[in-house]
Structure 1
């Protein structure tokens, strides 16, 4: 049997042997690049945005300040902050070319919620803004695109949510900060300052968190040189997976399932003995208390109410049951547990918990995409083939 001139016959061998490197499943613990944006130190219970503690930023600075830090690498002074806020304000509005699409997209994605609609609209927003592939853009234009995209996503989320619940979208207000404006867009009412501040702290705490699945997805897309809207849409697709961004409402579902404080110990004991996962507890990175949970617990106590006391009791009971049944095993609350409590107290419906997460994380995604765009190397890992040994003869058509 002849072969094509210039091509060697395919070897009849088993699995290939080359210079690929074996890594853990899920790339756990594998360093894939360098970053100046931030990091998570799971054993220390600490994470940071650039050189600052993320939790301290959430406690002491506003969302726009931290956004400026992520995008430009430094915290702004008052004048720089005012300029940044002025730059953001007009970018919150949905582009004219996209406005007529809001209602039909909301209707088409009604069963799946606003994030499904945002995934559909992001490429259209990118086109409306004239976003070019990162490969063909200048650093200045990339930064402008990142700012525009992150500014409009909360407006899209809120508009789709309202349309899906029979209400008309409201226009962003330039006189409201990022978090207060978001609450206004969702509810149609100006939130009390303490509620706006509570949501702002949550939003700041979720801007970035290491190389999680959605951030890595966005960077992979950025490494191909694609436009920024595609990077954000891909990252958003990863976030919508229940193992990544879908847990805050499920943590509250745990409280609903328990029902009352007197049932907490028995309910938790049954779940632990059955080997079931208790939503809102445990984290794949932290081996100590999640610093975001600690901060949000404090915010919840400031807001107060029966829900807070109930949540605190459930938290204590989980720790106590584990001490009895699985001594030596520590399981702490994660960010989703107390985030759900805070958002519920601030008037956000449960169907908006993950979308609210996306409203802040888009700042992190776009920042990472810009950093990745500065590297011309495409992210292109390998996979180990484990199917039947090739090449097999191709059978003749019957």
Structure 2
């Protein structure tokens, strides 16, 4: 592992996609540099800032001030918090507001917020006038290490998570780690699930480092920037090799096949944040891998122990309202999992583990085996 960053440092991670390459700028108090960076990339462009009501309270004025100082005229579009905005109606409202703001093809959309805002604003940018540039300014840990990087944009269908969208790479990502200080402990923990994912799927040394240093990541020490930069480098490398998820990029969905089904079962509500669903999903993926004989029970338990240690849910029974319809029915969960984007010709694709730090794409698992595994987990006591 490389030495953690000092707070005074910022780091730039390059997403190497040829003529669509872009930088991820990571560091404490880098938000004031946004305007100058955008002006250098797109001189003369105007910008519409899409954000949610909570983020607007803390960071909208500072963002507007940075852009104004660089001579960039802005308009603002404020949406409601949460997955409820990532819908057909939410997309229509943002698109119509962008048209009303007269955002042209040589202008910019700036996504100032967490994963919901980034996905929604990015998708709107992808389809507005057949595509305008956008910039990601992620304000949650989950968005900084995952959803702001790689160009996946989209909205939810009532039938499943992220089933409508487009690949649309940002022009720039500016990840100011100081904005994470305003997150609730639960929001930060949910984002941490995606950080841990990078260790579990492809970097055992990073996972071991997280086991030893997670307290500093949570407290806001220099380990926080290091964890974010390491996660972004891991994702950027995979995206550069497989931009449109035709192969290796599917590994980034570790925990998501189970997790997305759980999010759908809870109505995409605050009963289960995305990162919490990923945490439960990663544990299920590890335990399923052990049941199939791919890894030992000790390794599966290691994943579960670390996520539980930081306060993330690790059992199906940890989900709020567990007894409500849908969460105690293995067949209902199988129906939701069948809508997963990785389904090919009706067969589920799972991301499973051969070791902590070595995930594999598996597409030959019998649905009956998955169903029996879920039924057992649903009946088990934590």
TM range (shorter): under 0.3
Structure number having the greater helix percentage: 1
- Larger Rg computed on CA atoms: 1
TM-score by length of 1: 0.26
Structure number having the greater strand percentage: 2
TM-score by length of 2: 0.27
Which of 1 and 2 has higher RCO (CA within 8 Å, sep 6+)? Answer: 1
